[in-house]
Structure 1
C-alpha cells in the first residue's frame, strides 16, 4: 500500500507552518509531503507595507523556501496553481497536474474592490513583493518628476490610501516616515506632500478599543496624515479618486487600495462555495463537503462560536490554523480524533511607522510608542524562530525598534 500524499498549495504563513509541522509530526514512511508555490521564496506579508513605502529593502521580506524546508523531506514544486478538482483529488498546475490524498489550500489573497469603478484598473495594491517594490519605485519616481519640474503639479506628491485597516494604517505610518527623507533627497519643501487616508467606516483600525484608536490617529496626524473617515470612495480614476456624497475629486499621483481582500480566484473557480470572497470552513478547518481538503489563511473564514462572526484573517491566526491542520492530517493518517480550531489571542500590535506603534498583548495590557514597537519586532522575530530557528532570526530578524 502506497503512503498517503499531502499536497500544500501556497507558501504563505499557513502553508509554510503547516509544512513545517507535518515534517515534525510525520515520518517519511508515513506520508509524502509536497509544497507547491509559484516562487522559490516565502515572504513576510506583514512586512510588505514597509517594502511598498521604501523603509526596508525588498529582499529583507523574502525567505528562500529551501533555507527552512528540508528538500529531502518535502518535494518543493515551483509552479502556478490554475485549478483544483476536489472530486478527482487533483490539482492542475501551469506545467502539469498533481494528485493528492490530502490537500492544504493556502493560496493567499487578492484585491477585493467591492465593485468600485476603476479601482481594479487604476489603484496599486500591496499584494506581493513585486507589487510592493513597484509601489516603492513609483513613489520615488513621483518625487523625481516633481523635482525635474514636470508641470510643478502638486498632485504628484499627493498620496491617497484607501482603507484604514491594518495594512492601510501601517502603510501610511511608513509613508509618514519615508516622505520627509525623500523631500530632503530631492530638495522639496516638506510641506508639499500630502498623505490622505480614506475610509468608509467612521473609525480606523476596527478591533482596537477607542483609546488605542485615538492614540494611533493622533500619532499619524501629528506626522501629517490626513483622514477622511465615514467617506466612501465612489470612483478611482487614473490620477484621482472621487469620494463622499458630494463626489469630491482628489487628484493624486499615487493611489493605493488596501480596503479589502478576498481569496485567490482559484478557490471560486474550482467550485468551492464562497461567502464574501472566502470559504466558510468547518471547525476542523476542512472545506464543507470534503474530508480531505483543508483551507487556511486568507482563503478561509473560521467562525468564532462565541461571537458568531469569523476571526479576522491575520498572520497570528494563520500560524495557529497551521498547527491544527497538521495535527488533524496526522490524526486522519494515523487514526484519532480531529481537533477544532479555537483562536488563542496573544494580542495585536499595529506599527505606526518609525518608533511609533500601539496595541495589546496577552491579557489586554496596552502598549504605546517605543515599547509597542519593540513588542511588534518580538512578534515578528518569534515567527522567524518558529519557522527557521535562531539562524533565521539572526539573518532576517528585527533587533532595532525602527
Structure 2
C-alpha cells in the first residue's frame, strides 16, 4: 500500500481541470497521488455551450478529451459518477466504486435552478452540459424539418422561447439570431415566421453591465429579429410555452429553453454540507469551515468578497483563479507550510451577441461594443485553451473564425 497522501479532485470542469494541472506542477510524484474523477472521459467548455445549443459551433470544438490534457501516467483518471461524499470516513462514494482521500477538492459544477416554477423541469430544455445542449440543437433543427415537411404544422412550432436574461440566455439569443436565417434558407421557410423570444423577470437583462451596454445589446438583438420581454414573471411552463405576467398570457413555442439560474451540484447538499442558495460558503483559503483537508471551488462554492460583504459571482474566470489558490494550499498542507487566502483579480466581463458582436467591460472599466468586444471574447476563450493545454490545444480548438 502506498503511504503517499491521496489528493482527489471531483469534477473536470474549469476549476477541476486547472486544479489538477496545477497539482501536477506543484507536487512531485513522490509527494502525493493525484486522482481526478469525472462522469465522462471529456472536458467541455461550459461557456461555449450556448453556441453548441444554437448550432453555431462544431460539437467537437467544445469537447476536449481529458487524457489529452492530463497524463494518465501522472494522474489516476476515474470516469464515474459521484453519488455522495462521506465526510466522517473521508470517502467518496461513486456509482461503481469507492475512494478514500486524504485531501478532497469538490468542483462538481452546476445544475439548473428553476426556482420552483411549475412545469419547468418537465417541459423545458436546459443549457446544462454537453448532452443537454446537443439535444437543444437537434430539437430546433427537427422543428424546422418537421414544419417544412408537414403542411399542417403550426407556425408557433418554429418559435424559440428562452427564459432568463442573464449571460447564458442572452448569449444563446445572440447565436440564434445568426443561426435561424441559415435554417430558414436550408428548409425554405420565411424568416418572418420564426420568433425568438426572451423573457426576463427582472427590470433589465444582463444586470452585471451598465445601462449603456445593456441598451446596445438589446438594440443589436432586436434589430436582428429577437423579441426581449423584461420585467415579466414566468408563472408556469407548459408543453405549449410560458404562462407569463399578471394576465397569465400564454407565449407558445416549439422549443422552450430555461437559462434563468444555476446552483451547485446537488451531490454537495446530499452529502450534508451547509447550503446557502445552492452553494457552500467556504473560508478565505477555500476550505470548508470545520475541515482541514476539504476544499470546495467553482460553481459549488460561495467565496466571500470581504470588502463588499457579498460572494464573488461564480464565473469561469473565478473558477480558474480558485484552482491556483486551491492547488497552492494543498501543497502547503502536505509540506506543512502557511496557506494563502484567495484574492480575486477581476479581468473584466464580456458577453457575446453572436459571432461578430458583443459587449464588454474590461480591466479598469473600459467599455467595448461590436467587433472589438467580439474579438476580446475570442481572446478570453482562447486564453483558457492556452492555459489548459498550451499552443497545441489552442491550434486544435481555438476560435479562429473570420468575421
CA distance in 2, matches of 1:401, 1:269: 46
Structure 2 partner of 1:393: 394
2:366 is aligned with 1:372: no
CA distance in 2, matches of 1:275, 1:319: 22
Report how far residue 354 of structure 1 moved.
Answer: 2.1
Report how far residue 346 of structure 1 moved.
Answer: 0.5
Moved >2 Å (runs of 4+): 149-152
SS at match of 1:317: helix
Report how far residue 149 of structure 1 moved.
Answer: 2.5
What do the CA deviations read for 1:38-74 (whole angstroms, capped 9, x no partner)? Answer: 1000000000000000001111100000101111110
Structure 2 partner of 1:15: 16
Structure 2 partner of 1:280: 281
Identify unmatched segments of 5+ residues in structure 1.
none
Structure 2 partner of 1:24: 25
Report how far residue 151 of structure 1 moved.
Answer: 2.2
Identify unmatched segments of 5+ residues in structure 2.
none
Equivalent runs, 1:30-179 vs 2, <5 Å: 30-179=31-180
- CA RMSD in angstroms comes to 1.0
CA distance in 2, matches of 1:157, 1:14: 37
Structure 2 partner of 1:215: 216
Report how far residue 245 of structure 1 moved.
Answer: 1.2
Structure 2 partner of 1:362: 363
Report how far residue 152 of structure 1 moved.
Answer: 3.3
Structure 2 partner of 1:313: 314
Report how far residue 291 of structure 1 moved.
Answer: 1.5
CA distance in 2, matches of 1:72, 1:330: 20
SS at match of 1:76: strand
2:272 is aligned with 1:271: yes
Report how far residue 401 of structure 1 moved.
Answer: 5.0
2:196 is aligned with 1:195: yes
Instruction: Indicate conservation of the 8 Å contact 1:373/1:401, yes or no.
Output: no
CA distance in 2, matches of 1:401, 1:382: 18
CA distance in 2, matches of 1:68, 1:305: 35
SS at match of 1:377: helix
Report how far residue 150 of structure 1 moved.
Answer: 4.9
Over 3 Å counting, the alpha-carbon distance change for 1:248 and 1:325 in structure 2 is: same
Instruction: Indicate conservation of the 8 Å contact 1:374/1:401, yes or no.
Output: no
CA distance in 1, matches of 2:128, 2:47: 10
CA distance in 2, matches of 1:150, 1:46: 38
Instruction: Indicate conservation of the 8 Å contact 1:370/1:401, yes or no.
Output: no
What do the CA deviations read for 1:231-258 (whole angstroms, capped 9, x no partner)? Answer: 1110000121101111111111000000
